[in-house]
């Protein structure tokens, strides 16, 4: 037997089974979702949602596809939040402090209230990654923000008007492109391919009768 709970979708009451996620509960109640539903599995950040449990003062935030309903839950989805995304040319920017000052100067207006961290649906230390960004420590910012799904909930709470996920996105690209160590074996291989090093091997495979390739495949040596 299913246990039923009462939830309030945008203020209206519905009775739903208690083992559903908020997303499934909305569908159970009859909503055909278009907005606010992407991957259905915690990766895309489309389903940011705020809720309050009756009698509780705190307004909580979550991903609707990742959170179970509770009795007396007041739910409102936040399927779009107008973030600021600055455009830049990744080839021309430099991984220095200047770039943040130029593109996202508002991060320096952070008042340290920690509302972003408290609201993060991925339990990230958002205030900390903004602090790293302020100091131009992009590698640390990248690491700290890595699991960000860019849902925008933190930005909805920020009194300084910071678009945290976009700041982190920039930091990660700067880190990936400019700060992470270069990969020699990758560059070597690209060069070898362009030089035609594997041309004959590949051409041979293109012609080889299926039986011979099968033989190759079935007897191939597998790296331990």
Partner 1 sequence: MYPERLTKSIQAVEAAREKNIAYEPARMTAQQKEELLKAYHPDYKVEEFEELKIGQNKGQKVPKELCAILQAHSRIKADDVDLTKPDYDVDVLIIGGGGAGSSAAIEAHQAGADVMIVTKLRIGDANTMMAEGGIQAADKPNDSPATHFVDAFGGGHFAAKRELLSKLVCDAPEAIQWLSELGVEFDKDADGNMITTHGGGTSRKRMHAAKDYSGAEIMRTLRDEVLNRNIPVVDFTAAIELIKDDKGQIAGAVLMNMETKELLVARAKTVIIATGGAGRMHYQGFPTSNHYGATADGLVLGYRAGAQLLYAETLQYHPTGAAYPEQIFGALVTEKVRSLGAKLVNANGEVFMHPLETRDVAAASIIRECNDRNNGVETGSGLGVWLDTPMIEKIGGEGTIEKRIPAMMRMFGKYGIDIRKEPIIVYPTLHYQNGGLDITPDGMTTNVKNLYVAGEAVGGIHGRNRLMGNSLLDIIVFGRGAGKSAAAQCKNVTLGKLNLDHVAEFEKEIDKAGIKTDLVSPKLLPDYTNKK
DSSP class of residue 11? T
Helix and strand numbers (H, E) in the chain are 10, 5
Interaction between residue 154 and ligand FES (CB under 6 A): no
Determine contact, residues 61/119, Cβ cutoff 8 Å: yes
210 binds ligand SF4 (CB under 6 A): no
Regarding 40 and contact with ligand FES (CB under 6 A), the answer is yes
- The tokens for 152 are 């925008």
Site for partner 1 in 135-174 (CB under 8 A): 142, 146-147, 149-150, 169, 172-174
Site for ligand SF4 in 122-141 (CB under 6 A): 122, 124, 126-127, 130
Short-list 82, 78, 104, 220, CA closest to 169: 104
Q: Report whether 50 contacts 61 (CB < 8 A).
A: yes
Find which of partner 1, ligand FES, ligand SF4, none residue 159 binds, CB within 5 to 8 Å per kind: ligand SF4
Of these, 27, 70, 97, 106, which contacts partner 1 (CB under 8 A)? Answer: 27
The residue range among 42-50, 138-146, 194-202, 215-223 that interacts with ligand FES, by the rule CB under 6 A, is 42-50
Q: Is residue 39 close enough to count as binding partner 1 by CB under 8 A?
A: yes
Say whether residue 120 binds ligand FES (CB under 6 A). no
CB closer to ligand SF4 out of 39 and 113:
113
Q: CA dist 81 to 2, 26, 36, 87, Å?
A: 35, 20, 11, 18
Which candidate, 132, 130, 122, places its Cα nearest to that of 179?
132
- Token pair in block for residue 87: 């455009």
* Binding interface with ligand FES (CB under 6 A): 37-40, 42-47, 63, 65, 149
């Amino acid at each position: 037997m299913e246990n039923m709970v009462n939830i309030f979708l945008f203020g209206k009451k519905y009775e739903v089974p208690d083992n559903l996620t908020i997303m499934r509960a909305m569908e159970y109640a009859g909503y055909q979702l278009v907005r606010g539903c992407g991957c259905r599995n915690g990766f895309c950040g489309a389903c940011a949602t705020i809720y309050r449990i009756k009698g509780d003062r705190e307004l909580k935030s979550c991903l609707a596809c990742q959170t179970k309903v509770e009795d007396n839950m007041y739910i409102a989805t936040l399927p779009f939040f107008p973030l600021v995304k600055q455009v830049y040319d990744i080839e021309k920017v430099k991984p220095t402090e200047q770039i943040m000052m130029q593109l996202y100067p508002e991060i320096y207006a952070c008042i340290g209230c920690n509302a972003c961290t408290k609201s993060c649906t991925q339990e990230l230390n958002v205030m900390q990654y903004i602090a790293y960004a302020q100091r131009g420590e992009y590698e640390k910012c990248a690491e700290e923000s890595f699991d960000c799904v860019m849902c925008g909930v933190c930005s909805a709470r920020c009194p300084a008007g910071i678009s945290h996920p976009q700041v982190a996105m920039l930091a990660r690209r700067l880190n990936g492109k400019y700060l992470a160590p270069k990969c020699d074996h990758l560059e070597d291989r690209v060069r070898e391919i362009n030089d035609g090093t594997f041309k004959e091997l590949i051409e041979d495979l293109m012609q080889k009768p299926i039986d011979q390739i099968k033989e190759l495949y079935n007897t191939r040596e597998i790296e331990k």
